């Protein structure tokens, strides 16, 4: 894949062009996204994702207590962008992600699972459908949602991370939590946000 030109002029890592959910979510510059999570009642979680000017980009929702967990990403108009589903009774907490509402294998965008069934710090392996053997992941996620530690790599290249210098609030304050995710040039930011949500579900 072609690399986004002149990235080092901005002092950020050189990242390959990464389009997983869609080209429309790739921009040739660094983008900072504000993630706001709120627990609604005792059963539902809702996440809003905004740009730094406050424009709503994504809405994510799902039940906290489903046996087979499902998380849905929508655009500001409420149209479904993708659906994340956890496969029941898998020791590595495997998730599959499909475009729109589909669950058909031909519409699968990627799958995610823990690198090891037992681990002290959450590490996720991400596989594209073309990677049938799954011996080496296409991407890796390292971190902990609740400690605001989150980094996404392709090989040794850093694609996205939490901006540690930015904090809006605390999960302990009325069930709300807010922080900022920095996505580097050319990287699909819908893909990154979906990985953050799955990290949250695996961060136990």
Is residue 80 over pLDDT 90?
yes
pLDDT at 201: 77
pLDDT tens track for 23-54: 999 999 999 999 988 866 556 778 999 999 99
90: in domain = yes
Selection from 53, 70, 49 nearest residue 193 by Cα: 49
124: in domain = yes
Give the CATH number, domain containing residue 115.
2.40.160.200
8: in domain = no
Of the listed ranges 55-59, 75-79, 164-168, the least confidently predicted one is 164-168
52: in domain = yes
5: in domain = no
Q: Per-residue pLDDT averaged across 166-182, rounded?
A: 61
Q: Per-residue pLDDT averaged across 59-72, rounded?
A: 76
165: in domain = yes
155: in domain = yes
pLDDT at 144: 72
| Confidence band, pLDDT 50/70/90 cuts, at residue 10 | very low
Q: Please, are residues 144 and 1 in contact by the beta-carbon 8 Å criterion?
A: no
171: in domain = yes
34: left (phi over 0), alpha (psi -120 to 50) or beta: beta
pLDDT tens track for 87-104: 866 666 789 999 998 888
| Mean pLDDT of the residues in the chain | 80
The total of structural domains in the chain comes to 1
**How many whole angstroms separate alpha carbon 25 and alpha carbon 45?**
24
Q: Higher-confidence residue: 42 or 171?
A: 42
| Confidence band, pLDDT 50/70/90 cuts, at residue 182 | very high
**How many whole angstroms separate alpha carbon 173 and alpha carbon 46?**
15
């Amino acid at each position: 894949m072609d690399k986004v030109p002149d990235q080092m002029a901005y002092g950020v890592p050189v990242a390959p062009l990464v389009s997983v959910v869609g080209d429309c979510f790739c921009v040739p510059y660094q983008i900072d996204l504000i993630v706001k999570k709120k627990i609604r009642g005792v059963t539902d979680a809702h996440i809003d994702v905004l740009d730094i000017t406050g424009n709503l980009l994504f809405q994510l929702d799902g039940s906290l207590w489903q046996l087979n967990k499902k998380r849905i990403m929508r655009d500001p108009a409420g149209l479904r962008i993708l659906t994340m589903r956890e496969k029941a009774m898998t020791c590595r907490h495997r998730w599959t992600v499909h475009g729109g509402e589909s669950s058909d294998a031909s519409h699968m965008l990627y799958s995610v699972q823990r690198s090891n069934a037992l681990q002290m710090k959450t590490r996720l392996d991400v596989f594209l459908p073309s990677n049938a053997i799954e011996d080496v992941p296409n991407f890796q996620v390292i971190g902990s949602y609740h400690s605001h530690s989150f980094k996404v790599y392709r090989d040794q290249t850093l694609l996205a991370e939490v901006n540690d210098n930015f904090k809006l609030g605390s999960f302990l304050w009325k069930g709300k939590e807010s922080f900022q995710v920095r996505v580097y040039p050319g990287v699909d930011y819908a893909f990154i946000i979906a990985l953050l949500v799955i990290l949250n579900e695996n961060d136990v």
